């Protein structure tokens, strides 16, 4: 006879314990991928809002100071690096003048993934651009060949769209409307297959 075991005390059989572990394992197998998708969407949305706030800040600073301020995007190792730049001679932002030091660099270069791990510029396969047309490539920085988004002192801006995606299927876009300088954040809804305002 085993000591400490008395008849009538409640307990679990091995079969009951195994059944409980199987149920817990099944629930974890369902919950973990959903949690990872939710975290990925949160990071990607936060990255899009960060970009929108950087552009909004550049617009306000440009209006306040009376000269163009914007974001410059340079292809880096695997993704774009962005830098805030300011017009130094009153003729707008120009890549050649940035390289010569006439237009000033205000911030260090940074990648979006440094702040939001797993997020990068780009358009996922099968996602149309924000106008509903085929994406025509995966490049996520669509602001013209100069790769400059410039905010003018009169409240206008150059126009373009920045696309960011996560490691899963989260896809966001930050659109800048040139005539008004308005910045919008959009999310691509995989189920409805269309872009929605955020």
Please say whether the beta carbons of 43 and 36 come within 8 A: no
Domains, the chain, in order of start with CATH, read 40-197 (3.55.40.10)
pTM above 0.85, yes or no: no
Q: What is the pLDDT of residues 82-121, one digit of tens each?
A: 999 999 999 999 999 999 999 999 999 999 999 999 999 9
**List of residues 6+ apart from 119 with CB closer than 8 A:** 43, 44, 47, 112, 113, 164, 165, 166
Q: What is the pLDDT of residues 45-74, one digit of tens each?
A: 999 999 999 999 999 999 999 999 999 999
């Amino acid at each position: 006879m085993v000591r400490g075991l008395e008849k009538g005390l409640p307990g679990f059989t091995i079969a009951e314990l195994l059944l409980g572990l199987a149920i817990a394992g099944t629930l974890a197998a369902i919950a973990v991928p959903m949690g990872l998708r939710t975290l990925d969407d949160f990071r990607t949305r936060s990255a899009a809002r960060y970009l929108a706030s950087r552009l909004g800040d550049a617009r306000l600073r440009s209006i306040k100071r009376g000269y163009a301020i914007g974001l410059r995007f340079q292809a880096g190792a695997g993704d774009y690096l962005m830098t805030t730049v300011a017009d130094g001679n009153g003729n707008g932002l120009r890549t050649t003048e940035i390289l010569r030091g006439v237009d000033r660099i205000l911030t260090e270069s940074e990648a979006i993934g440094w702040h939001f791990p797993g997020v990068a510029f780009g358009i996922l396969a099968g996602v149309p651009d924000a106008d509903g047309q085929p994406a025509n490539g995966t490049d996520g920085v669509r602001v013209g060949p100069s790769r400059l988004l410039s905010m003018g002192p009169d409240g206008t801006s150059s126009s373009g769209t920045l696309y960011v995606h996560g490691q899963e299927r989260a896809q966001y876009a930050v659109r800048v409307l040139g005539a008004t300088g308005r910045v919008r954040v959009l999310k691509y809804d995989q189920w409805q297959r269309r872009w929605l305002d955020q």
